[in-house]
Amino acid sequence: MTTPDTQRPRPGSDILRTALRRNLGAMAGGTVLMGLYQAGETAFPIALGLIVEHTLREDRSLGSLAVSIGALAVIITTVSLSWRFGMRILQKANTTEAHRWRVRVAACGLQPVARDVDLKSGEVLTIATEDADQTADIVEVVPMLISSLVAIVVAAVALGLADFRLGLLVIVGTVGILSVLSVMSKRIGSSTREQQARVARAGAKVADLISGLRPLHGFGGNHAAFRSYRKVSTEAKHQAITVAKVNGVYAGTALALNAVLAAAVTLTAGWLAFTRQINIGELVMAVGLAQFIMEPLKLFSEMPKYVMIARASAERMALVLNAPPVTTPGPGQPAAGGDLEVDCVRHGPLRKLKFQVPAGEFVAITAYQPRAAADLASILAVDVPPHAYEGVVRVSGQELADLSVESVRSHMLVNPYDGEIFAGTLRSNIDPSGTSRTVPEAVEASMLTDVVALHRDGLDYAVRDRGANLSGGQRQRLSLARALAADTDVLVLHDPTTAVDAVTEQLIARNVAKLRRGRTTLVITSSPALLDAADRVLVLDDGVITAEDTHRNLLASDEAYCAAVAR
């Protein structure tokens, strides 16, 4: 049974409630300690007022004065220790909660989602970092809000005991300040949401540019791409300036209102002392409280802004956490080994596509239209949900719609032609989980041996992000080695040798056929070497299989095939 903490929250308010509920203990302890801190800060001018009042009495004594000074030392110690340990508790809870949401968002971002969800990898990155941190701030904001309220209440009560008008002034003034600032905080929330969205879009644009930088340079499109990014970044900059202006107006208004209230308390206390309605000690206390109350008032007045920012970030996280999966997981598990069957699939350029790869066979498909090959690979990789196309795909006799994405991918690996290379080492790219037993065989089959031998560190040679220190052919062979090392029951390769030379391609084709002997393998390619290594070749033209035979027989009997694949 799924617990509330593992369910996908719907609105951002649910995310905030989950964060608060998980940290009730830490927040309670932090609230008590920060309340002690604020009460101690407020008690300081009260103690000073009492000391002054005692000093002016005729019956004063050194013992009473020593007791007063000792009480003052206790207050100072309480203020210091309560702040230290209170903030330690709250910041630990804050950072822990931020970590939880970062992991949660990253886990959701790694799962395939429906294509109609307008979320890019750069946006998910921003949400998993900045938004997760700002959402977790609610764990620290609420205790600070309560402790600031404690300080204001203590100050109002103390001033009220001196003269009820002073206490009433603090209460009425605080309510008025919060009323004004709560209206302004709503504007901050809406502006912040827009800023976060624009920054995320700029991040996504950067990610797209970096991934496509080499092709862009190749056909001279880099300047146009940079102009496109500059436009998005400029929009984010203008929105950030708008948010900064709104925050500046908010902070200035809060500071001005707080100063007006402090001045009003000071002037009122001075007038009451002048008319002898309060004594000198009470005047000192009132003036001191008017100064000390500025800090809790400042904190108290800033809290609505932080709450709105946390809520805006939580709403952004909800976009990722609520993104519908590409398919609803089924209960089935594919049987070991097994075949692959595509039965009357209609999607994009595919028209009633039908073929079968029996268990243990090595089959190649050559597609005359590249779009058809790409769509077929996407369907097999479950990047396209089963309900989005007609027909069915079966793995080991079970339909994809009846299987979870995880179970499909653990049984059938679809390796794209543009497989991503990660920062790390050759070994960590080939075997990310560190559990493969066929790494040496995969390295040899993919002809990555020359890359390993070229460097002193061998498989531990450091690879930069996106394989920046490898050539195109080396990156492609590294991706192929990773697919072979996974040693899945069914392997689908999409154009695995487009960036390697003809001689290397011949060796790779023979090696892959040898390594995958007895395992179900489908290669979508136009490479003559791979087509020749396959047990049989299927010709995909105009969305359907139009011919089927060995590569050499097709070369001898099919002129269109010969023209399409002969080099």
Q: Which two three-digit tokens encode residue 341?
A: 């069957």
Q: What is the pLDDT of residues 347-375, one digit of tens each?
A: 999 999 999 999 999 999 999 999 999 99
Q: What is the pLDDT of residues 255-300, one digit of tens each?
A: 788 788 888 888 888 888 888 888 877 787 777 777 777 777 777 7
Distance CA(425)–CA(428), nearest Å, equals 5
- Residue 219: pLDDT above 50? no
Distance CA(373)–CA(272), nearest Å, equals 88
CATH code of 340-565, in short, is 3.40.50.300
Distance CA(435)–CA(446), nearest Å, equals 19
Distance CA(367)–CA(49), nearest Å, equals 90
Residue 82, CA distances (Å) to 31, 34, 93 in order: 10, 6, 16
pLDDT at 508: 96
Distance CA(507)–CA(505), nearest Å, equals 5
pLDDT at 221: 46
Name which of 124-133, 207-216, 479-488 the model is least confident about. Answer: 207-216
pLDDT at 385: 83
Q: Which two three-digit tokens encode residue 52?
A: 């002054």
pLDDT band at 156; cut points 50, 70, 90: confident
pLDDT at 216: 39
- Residue 557: pLDDT above 70? yes
Helix/strand/coil for 234: helix
Alpha helices in 348-438 (DSSP H): 370-380, 405-411, 426-430
Distance CA(337)–CA(123), nearest Å, equals 39
What percent of the chain lies above the pLDDT cut of 90?
Answer: 35
pLDDT at 111: 67
Residue spans of the domains in the chain: they are 12-320, 340-565
Q: What is the pLDDT of residues 376-413, one digit of tens each?
A: 999 998 888 888 899 999 999 899 888 888 888 889 99
Distance CA(506)–CA(528), nearest Å, equals 9
Name which of 218-232, 283-297, 420-434, 502-516 the model is least confident about. Answer: 218-232
Which one, of 255, 290, 337, lies nearest residue 166 by Cα? 290
- Residue 139: pLDDT above 50? yes
Q: Is residue 22 exposed (0-12), middle (13-18) or buried (19+ Cβ within 10 Å)?
A: middle
Count other Cβ atoms within 10 Å, centred on residue 48: 19
Distance CA(148)–CA(140), nearest Å, equals 12
Distance CA(327)–CA(150), nearest Å, equals 51
- Residue 439: pLDDT above 90? yes
Q: Do the first three CATH levels of 12-320 and 340-565 match, i.e. the same topology?
A: no
pLDDT band at 527; cut points 50, 70, 90: very high
Count other Cβ atoms within 10 Å, centred on residue 69: 12
More confident residue, 71 or 327: 71
- Residue 519: pLDDT above 70? yes
Q: What is the pLDDT of residues 15-66, one digit of tens each?
A: 998 999 999 999 999 999 988 888 887 777 777 776 776 666 665 566 666 7
Angle at 194 between CA 189 and CA 200, to 5 degrees: 125
Strands laid side by side in the 520-524 sheet: 412-415, 490-494, 520-524, 362-367, 536-541, 544-549
Q: What is the pLDDT of residues 72-85, one digit of tens each?
A: 788 888 888 888 99
CA end-to-end distance (rounded Å), the chain: 58
- Residue 523: pLDDT above 80? yes
- Residue 214: pLDDT above 50? no
Q: What is the pLDDT of residues 291-319, one digit of tens each?
A: 777 777 777 767 777 787 888 888 888 88
Strand (E) or helix (H) holding 456: none
What percent of the chain lies above the pLDDT cut of 70?
Answer: 81
pLDDT at 357: 95
Distance CA(220)–CA(361), nearest Å, equals 43
Q: What is the pLDDT of residues 20-32, one digit of tens each?
A: 999 999 999 999 9
Average pLDDT of the chain, as a whole number: 81
Strand (E) or helix (H) holding 365: strand 362-367
Any idea which fold 12-320 has?
ABC transporter transmembrane region fold (1.20.1560)
- Residue 190: pLDDT above 70? no
Distance CA(219)–CA(326), nearest Å, equals 34
pTM (global) more than 0.75:
no
Could you tell me how far CA 85 lies from the centroid of its own chain? 30
Q: What is the pLDDT of residues 199-212, one digit of tens each?
A: 555 555 555 554 54
Distance CA(468)–CA(44), nearest Å, equals 61
